Chains A and B, each alone.
Chain A
Amino acid sequence: MAQTMTDTFIARSPAIAARVMGGEMMIMSAVDSTFFSLNEVATVIFQAADGQTPLAEIIEKRVCKEFEVEPEEARRDAEHFVTELSKHGILLVSDKPIPAHNFPNTPNLGKQ
Chain B
Amino acid sequence: MSGSAVSQNISIDIGGTPIALRTEDPAFRALLERRYPGFLRSDATTNYALDIELLPEDGPVTDEPELHVSHGSAGWRLMRGDFHANWDDTRGQGKIIQTLSPYAIDSVLRIVHSLIQAPQGGFLLHGASAIRNGRAFLFSGLSGAGKTTISRLAPPDATLLTDEISYIRRDGASYEACGTPFAGELARVGANCRAPIAHLFFLTQGPENRIDPIPTAETLRMLLRNILFFADDSNLVEMVFRSACEFLGQVPASRLTFLPDERVWELIQ
Contacts and interface: CB of A to CB of B under 8 A. Distances in A.
Contacts of B237: 17, 28-30, 33
Contact of A15 (B217, B220, B234): B234
Interface in B201-248: 215-217, 220-221, 224, 229, 232-234, 237-238, 241-242, 245-246, 248
Interface stretch (A18-26, A47-55, A56-64, A75-83): A18-26
A3 B246 CA distance: 43
Contacts of B220: 21, 26, 35, 37
A4 interface: no
Interface residues of B, number: 18
Given A21-B220, A24-B217, A28-B224, A33 B229 contact: yes
A22 B215 CA distance: 9
B155 interface: no
Nearest to B235: A30
B156 to A, nearest CB: 38
A24 B216 contact: yes
Given A28-B237, A30-B237, A19 B232 contact: no
A112 B234 contact: no
Contacts of B234: 14-15, 30
Interface in B11-40: none
Size bracket, chain A contacts: 10 to 19
B238 A37 contact: no
Contacts of B221: 35, 37
B3 interface: no
A26 B220 CA distance: 8
Contacts of A29: 237
B252 interface: no
Contacts, number: 51
A112 B219 CA distance: 14
Contacts of A26: 217, 220, 245
A108 interface: yes
A99 B242 CA distance: 27
Given A31-B232, A32-B232, A112 B241 contact: no
Interface string A1-45: 000000000000011010101101010111111010100000000
Contacts of B238: 17, 30, 108
B216 A21 contact: yes
Given A17-B237, A17-B238, A24-B217, A112 B232 contact: no
Interface in B164-184: none
A35 to B, nearest CB: 5
Contacts of A30: 232-234, 237-238
B249 interface: yes
A92 to B, nearest CB: 15
Given A21-B249, A112-B246, 15 more contacts: A17-B241, A17-B242, A19-B242, A19-B245, A21-B216, A21-B220, A22-B215, A22-B217, A30-B232, A30-B237, A31-B232, A33-B224, A33-B232, A110-B245, A112-B248
21 contacts: A14-B234, A17-B238, A17-B242, A21-B216, A21-B217, A21-B248, A22-B216, A24-B217, A28-B224, A29-B237, A30-B232, A30-B237, A31-B232, A32-B232, A33-B232, A35-B220, A37-B217, A37-B220, A108-B238, A110-B245, A112-B246
CB-based closest 9 A-B pairs? A22-B216, A37-B217, A30-B234, A17-B241, A30-B237, A17-B238, A28-B241, A112-B249, A19-B245
